[in-house]
Structure formats: structure tokens, C-alpha cells
Amino acid sequence: MRYATRSLSSNIHSCSLHMGIQHKPSVLLKTSVGDIDIELWAKEAPKACRNFIQLCLEGYYNNTIFHRVLKGFIVQGGDPTGDGTGGESIYGQPFKDEFHQRLKFTRRGLLAMANAGKDDNGSQFFFTMAATPELNNKHTIFGKVSGDTVFNMLKLEEGLIEDESPVYPNKILKTEVLLNPFPDIVPRIQRVEVKEKRKKDKKTGVKNFKLLSFGEEAEEDEEESTKQNQKYVGKGKSSHDVLDDPKLSSETQPLDSDIKDEEKEENDTEEQLDSIRKKFKAAKESKLKSKKPLAETSTSSSQKIIDDEDHALEDYYLHKDRDLERKKKVDEIKKEIESVKRDYHKNKLKKVEEQEEARQEEEVKNETYEKYKAECEIYKSKKEALPKKGAGREQFTLSLLEKFKKKLHSAKEKEPEETETVEKDDDIDNEESWYVLFLILVILHLDYTNIKLVIFVY
């Protein structure tokens, strides 16, 4: 897991390509804050996308920093010099802006070209941290950050910032093209400048015997050896001259006394040379001992470099673990938000139902009230039709009595068919008559004298 070379998003893209699923052009940036998956809009901005993809294939953005950070606005990178003054396009010169009516700076996570003016696009780019409508028709938008990697992009604006530059800048460790819409792109071969090594003139070594503790003795021995060597300068040397063998002499056979003297001199010179060699060996050994700590420091420095690389890899994968933990927390928060939304909708539906029930109850109450009101209106109209108290009202009651009398006389004149039926009819008529009289008295509110009159007549 630790030394995996491809991320999860790249594996998903490769699987989808094998299955025949078409995806939009995309590039993966491996940064110090985690992976950032970028979706490119090659149809809307072909020049900018071609430039960005080819630079990614060439490894142009590897180990570059995000040199400019404006919190809540943008984060800028893509400059190999790291100060915002460098960077070149693949075209050898700045290329023109590409504006599209559907591409606007309306949200965070957009990828656009950085420039110093109109039609001045190179290699630098920036991510938007929020909606930036003031940049419309000034910078070319050619992509967006896709998926949950937008949370990694938002980490780029975190940290200490001084004069729009971060104190500890984040890096692009590596770029990987997941889907290339331009199959004709061929990465350019970078020229490697070979520095010519100048041949240094070898200076003849000068022996400084003063540095040695036995310098005076060595200097005397050196003078004697040079005198002996000068004898053979300009002469061809044979085995007779090189070997110290008395039988192989280069000269004619001298006298016995001369041979003995020469042998003594040769033995003396050999002893002197041996002593000089021993002294030089001792000096070399002392120098080697003094050089050992330097070698140890060089090995320690190389070990430090290896340790730094291991630490960098550990930091990279630690960031990945932290990102996974943050994603889990984000998922939990999303689930909580969804549950709160569901509860809110349920409560809202309950309130709507309660309001509907209250409205229906009010409608029922209104219906009963309307019926009551209608009956009151009918009663009022009938009451208004009756005449007011006075002479007119008395005449009205008397007319009613006359009608009642006529009804009684007509009933008496009829022949009784049977005694039982007649008695029943009389009872019914009496009951009806009394009921009618009672109603008349109640409605008309007659005077006491009128009541007596009615009873007497009856």
C-alpha cells in the first residue's frame, strides 16, 4: 500500500476505458496535500488543454510549488522558477486567450490560465477558491477539479501567508495524464547540456620537506639520489645498468679495488632509499587517518538524503490517511444532515395536515353558522311582514277569527257518517283549533281584552 504508484482514481479511469465507457479528458496532480483530479474542457479551450497536457507528459510541473495564495480567491502555480516570473508554453511564445460564453467564474474549483495581460498565456495556472466574476473575459477557463478531490484543493490555501506567498509552499510532486484527447502529442526531448571538462595542466610537484618532522634528513637523501640519477641521463639503460648484479656490469671490468668501492656506494644508496620510502609510508598513513572522518561525513550525508526521501514518502502517505479520515467524517456529517432534512420534511407534512384539518373544521362551522343565519333571516322577514301594534293589527286578528269561525260552521254543517269517526274528527279539530289559537296569541302578542274576546267567541 505504501509504495503503490497509481492512485484509486487512475485505476477507475483505466478500468472504464477497458469497458468502453467514454470519459472526458482528465489529468491527475499528485501534490503534498493529496491527489487532485482535473477534468479538462478540450472542445471549449483546445490550445490551453493541449499546452497543459503536453507539459504534464514532459514532467514540466514536477516538483514545482504553488507560489501565490490569496485566501478565498485563488491559488496559483505552474512556474518552474517558483517566483511567478517564469514559465513557457509549448508553442514557443505566449498563446491567445480562449473565452467561451458557457464558461464563467461562478464557483470554486475552476482551473484557468494565469497571465500578465491580454493573449499572454504560458505555463502558469490557478485554481479558484470561490466565485470570482471579476475575472470573466480576462483569463481562459479550461478545466475543473472533479469529485471529492476538491477538498484537497481547498487545503492549498491553508497555512502561513506573507505578501501573497506561502511561508511553507505546497508542491506538485508528479503529474499523470489519465485520458489524452490529443493522440498526436509527442513529448519533446529535453536537451541535456554537457559541460566540457577542461584539461588542467598538471603542475610538477615540488617536494616541501619542511612540512615533515624529518625534513632535513629526507632533503639530504633526495639530493644524493638525484646525483646518482643524473649519471644515467641521456644514456640507454640495459639490464646491466638497472640490476644491482656485479656480474652484469655495463662498464669494462675494472680493478678489484674499484669494484669494492662501487659496491659499498650502491649498498649505501639502497639503504638511504629504503629509509626514505619508510618515512613516506608513515606520512601517508597519518594522512589517511586524518581523512577517515571526512569519508564518514560523506557517508552520513548520503544516509541523510535517503532518510529525507523516506520521510517525504511517509509524509505523502500520511496525508493520504488523513484525507481518508476526513472523507469519513464528511460522509458522517452528510448522513446527519440528510436525517435532519428528513425530520424537517416530516414535521412540515404534519403541520400541513394539521392546518388542513383546522381549515375543514372551520368550513363545517361556517356551514352551520350560515344555515342558522339563513333561518334567522327568514324569521326576520316573516316578522317584518306582520303589521305593527294598533288598529291595523286588531283588524288582522279579527279577520283570522272570522276565518276560523267559518271553518267551524262548515265542519258542523257536514253530516256525521259515524259517531266514532265524528268524535275523532271533533277531537282533532279541537286540538288543531287550540293549537292555532295558541300560535296566534304568541305571535301577535294580543292584549288581555282581545284574548278574552277570542275565548268568549270560541
Residues catalogued as catalytic:
68, 73, 76, 115, 126, 135, 139
For the record, the C-alpha cell of 152 comes out as 484537497
Among 50, 129, 39, 143, which residue's Cα sits nearest to residue 100?
A: 143
Q: Are 74 and 127 in contact (CB under 8 A)?
A: yes
Residue-wise DSSP of 372-420:
HHHHHHHHHHHHHHSPPSSHHHHHHHHHHHHHHHHHHHHHHHSPPS-HH
For the record, the C-alpha cell of 388 comes out as 305593527
Backbone torsions φ then ψ of 405, nearest 5 degrees? -60, -50
Cβ neighbors of 56 (< 8 A, separation 6 or more) are 27, 175, 176, 177
Q: Are 9 and 36 in contact (CB under 8 A)?
A: no
Query: Can you tell me the distance from the alpha carbon of 434 to that of 140, in angstroms, rounded to the nearest whole number?
Result: 106
Cβ neighbors of 314 (< 8 A, separation 6 or more) are none
Cβ neighbors of 23 (< 8 A, separation 6 or more) are 13, 16, 17, 179
